[in-house]
Amino acid sequence: NAGVTQTPKFRVLKTGQSMTLLCAQDMNHEYMYWYRQDPGMGLRLIHYSVGEGTTAKGEVPDGYNVSRLKKQNFLLGLESAAPSQTSVYFCASRTRKGQTGVETQYFGPGTRLLVL
Amino acid sequence: KNEVEQSPQNLTAQEGEFITINCSYSVGISALHWLQQHPGGGIVSLFMLSSGKKKHGRLIATINIQEKHSSLHITASHPRDSAVYICAVRSGYSGAGSYQLTFGKGTKLSVIP
């Protein structure tokens, strides 16, 4: 199993450009999450999904959109990138608690985004 | 919103030392996670606990629900333990059917040979 993968690993954007970050997991997990990690701050939740076709806002959703058309994929979109969105983005997934009794989140390797 | 504080922010230890990292939070929780972020950036989950103590190899995690405090201990530390250790608390279910985690800022541990 590849676990959780993220594409791309690194990207540089100009202000106003758009892009999509792809998260894929091969563990058949129901829940998927997008976080951002900034220096001096803890991980913050952007959006999450509890299943195919469903998404919900997290702590810092402004400026981002997400889609979960397939169970294994969770896409994070930036419609008009801003320098404040320079960050490292992590995707994570987990199974439903009732199936295993465990709530471990599995993280992707991260995407480093620089917005100039 | 739950406030999660970790101490110390940075920790340097000699190989073999016993290490303690602390986490305190402001609001009652249903579970607490300890995560490890490697120097390369990857994040792995170490423990999830809601009471008592858990042990995995040289790592021990404890939680005191009444005092809103958790500790992560590393016995016989080794340079390969060098990483950022992150505490995260689960504060119950959101309206969309999943819980959310609130993360601490992390403790950077460096173990010197």
A101: chain B residues, CB-CB within 8 Å:
none
Point out the residue among A40, A88, A102 whose CB comes nearest to the CB of B105: A40
For each successive 10 residues of chain B (113 residues), what is the average pLDDT? 92 98 90 92 90 94 94 97 95 64 95 97
What is the predicted pLDDT for the residue at A95?
80
pLDDT, tens only, A29-83:
999 999 999 998 999 999 999 999 999 999 999 999 999 999 999 999 999 999 9
Residues B74, B22 contacting (CB under 8 angstroms)? no
B104: chain A residues, CB-CB within 8 Å:
42
pLDDT, tens only, A90-103:
999 988 665 445 57
pLDDT, tens only, A9-39:
999 999 999 999 999 999 999 999 999 999 9
User: What is the distance between the alpha carbons of residues B101 and A45, in angstroms, rounded to a whole number?
Assistant: 8
Does residue A45 sit at the B interface (CB-CB below 8 Å)? Answer: yes
